[in-house]
């Protein structure tokens, strides 16, 4: 699965407070003279290599599975140092991969030095520290980088300058971006790559739950589902359409085309905000159908019926015994006890015929 950036903040001395809820990985870049960073949640930080000129230092720090929440601030050891924090989901269990860095004095452009990630989907972070004169107008290019995420203008005798950027790779490729800025100064450029978690299935689902700030057990609640839908790029208001179902299935590590198999059935029920145990009943069936992009009113053709039988773990070919028919009747929101004679239960027969895509007579033969 890929890294997902949830936010970024930068400042001098101490940043403004931000809400880091849902983040499972935070990287901090510090521009200054000291080698320590702090945060208001009391996390422990792993420091990478310090790169420096005579008095300008740059360094990446990171924390996996941090304590997060509202009002989260990040601080350097001195008020004149600049600091930036970027927070994500999607890291591997042991995320650090490779790093590099370079320094020059004076300079107004500087490459970070090359890194080649050891696996696909790495998060690559670039940081720049400037010192000695006023600096601004930061830019970055090459190595998959194109935009600066956050920056602090350098001011002589007041604060160091800083800029950070990120790139999420698809295929592991060497990266050696170049920073540029106005105001020739001491410059330190640092780059670090971090491994993404393996993709697919539960790992991706866990990431969506994490982004929603909820555990798997709470996923079926309406408010939690709305947050998770938003995390997958889908609106909860639009949650009954096919396009939203595709987005949710994708977030669950399941392709839309494969949704009808038993293995993916729980993912579909989850996308609908219901558990498989509560599937019987017409109202619940309607919700599940809506999650697949099909309305109950349109459930009249054989192909649609086949998809629904697949989702309920019952294939059309297996629709032959009373036990199977009871399960399908439950799916239709009908009680097996009502299925007595066609003359007395025309409405029931019509409903079941419509659901299966078979004629009433063909259903009678199968039963």
Domain boundaries, the chain: 4-196, 199-276, 299-367
- CA gap 333, 347 in Å, rounded: 13
Q: What is the DSSP string of 163-174?
A: EEEEEE-SS---
Residue 79 has pLDDT above 80, yes or no: yes
Residue 246's closest CA among 225, 267, 262, 261?
A: 267
Q: Which of 83 and 351 is assigned the larger pLDDT?
A: 83
Averaged pLDDT, 178-182: 98
- CA gap 361, 10 in Å, rounded: 71
Residue 54 has pLDDT above 70, yes or no: yes
Buried b (16+ CB within 10 A) or exposed e, 257-289: eebbeeebbebbbbbbbbebeebbeeebbbbbb
CA atoms within 13 A on the CB side of 289: 23
Residue 357 has pLDDT above 70, yes or no: no
Q: What is the pLDDT of residue 345?
A: 41
Q: What is the pLDDT of residue 184?
A: 96
Q: What is the pLDDT of residue 35?
A: 79
The alpha carbon of residue 217 and the mean position of all alpha carbons in its chain are separated, in whole angstroms, by 18
CA atoms within 13 A on the CB side of 53: 21
Mean pLDDT score across all residues of the chain:
72
pLDDT in tens, 202-219: 333 334 434 444 443 333
Find out whether 155 and 134 touch, Cβ atoms under 8 Å: yes
Percent of the chain with pLDDT over 90: 53
Residue 155 has pLDDT above 90, yes or no: yes
Q: Residue 106: is the preceding peptide bond cis (ω within 30°)?
A: yes
- In eight-state DSSP terms, residue 115 is B
Averaged pLDDT, 291-307: 42
Task: Report pTM.
Answer: 0.59
Helix axes 201-212, 242-251, angle to 10 degrees: 110
Torsion of CA 134, 140, 146, 147, to 10 degrees: -20
Q: What is the pLDDT of residue 287?
A: 52
Q: What is the DSSP string of 296-338?
A: GGGTTSHHHHHHHHHHTT--GGGTTSHHHHHHHHHHTT--GGG
- CA gap 4, 23 in Å, rounded: 9
Q: What is the pLDDT of residue 164?
A: 98
CA atoms within 13 A on the CB side of 102: 15
Averaged pLDDT, 162-180: 97
């Amino acid at each position: 699965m890929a890294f997902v950036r949830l936010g970024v903040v930068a400042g001098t001395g101490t940043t403004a407070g931000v809400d880091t809820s849902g983040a499972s990985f935070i990287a901090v870049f510090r521009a200054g003279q000291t080698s320590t960073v702090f945060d208001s949640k009391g996390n422990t930080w792993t420091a990478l290599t310090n790169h420096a000129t005579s008095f300008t230092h740059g360094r990446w720090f990171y924390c996996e599975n941090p304590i997060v929440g509202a009002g989260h601030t990040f601080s350097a050891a001195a008020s004149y140092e600049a600091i930036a924090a970027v927070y994500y989901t999607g890291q591997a269990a042991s995320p650090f991969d490779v790093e590099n860095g370079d320094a020059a004095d004076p300079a107004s452009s500087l490459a970070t030095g090359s890194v080649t990630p050891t696996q696909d989907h790495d998060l690559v972070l670039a940081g720049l520290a400037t010192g000695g004169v006023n600096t601004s107008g930061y830019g970055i290019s090459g190595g998959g980088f194109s935009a600066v995420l956050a920056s602090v203008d350098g001011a002589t005798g007041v604060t160091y300058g800083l800029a950070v950027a990120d790139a999420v790779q698809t295929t592991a490729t060497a990266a050696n971006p170049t920073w540029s800025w106005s105001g020739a100064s001491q410059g330190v450029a640092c780059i670090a790559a971090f491994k993404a978690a393996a993709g697919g299935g539960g790992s991706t689902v866990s990431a969506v739950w994490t982004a929603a700030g909820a555990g798997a057990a709470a996923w079926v609640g309406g408010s939690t589902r709305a947050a998770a839908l938003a995390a997958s790029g889908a609106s909860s208001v639009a949650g009954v359409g096919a396009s939203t179902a595709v987005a949710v299935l994708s977030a669950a590590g399941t392709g839309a085309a494969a949704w009808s198999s038993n293995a993916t059935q729980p993912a579909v029920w989850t996308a609908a905000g219901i558990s498989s145990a509560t599937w019987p009943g017409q109202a619940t069936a309607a919700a599940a159908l809506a999650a697949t992009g099909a309305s109950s009113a349109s459930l009249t053709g054989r192909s649609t019926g086949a998809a629904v039988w697949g989702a309920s773990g019952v294939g059309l070919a297996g629709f032959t015994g009373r036990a199977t028919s009871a399960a399908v009747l439950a799916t239709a929101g009908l009680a097996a006890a009502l299925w007595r004679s066609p003359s007395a239960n025309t409405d029931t027969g019509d409903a079941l015929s419509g659901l299966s895509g078979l004629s009433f007579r063909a259903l009678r033969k199968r039963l």
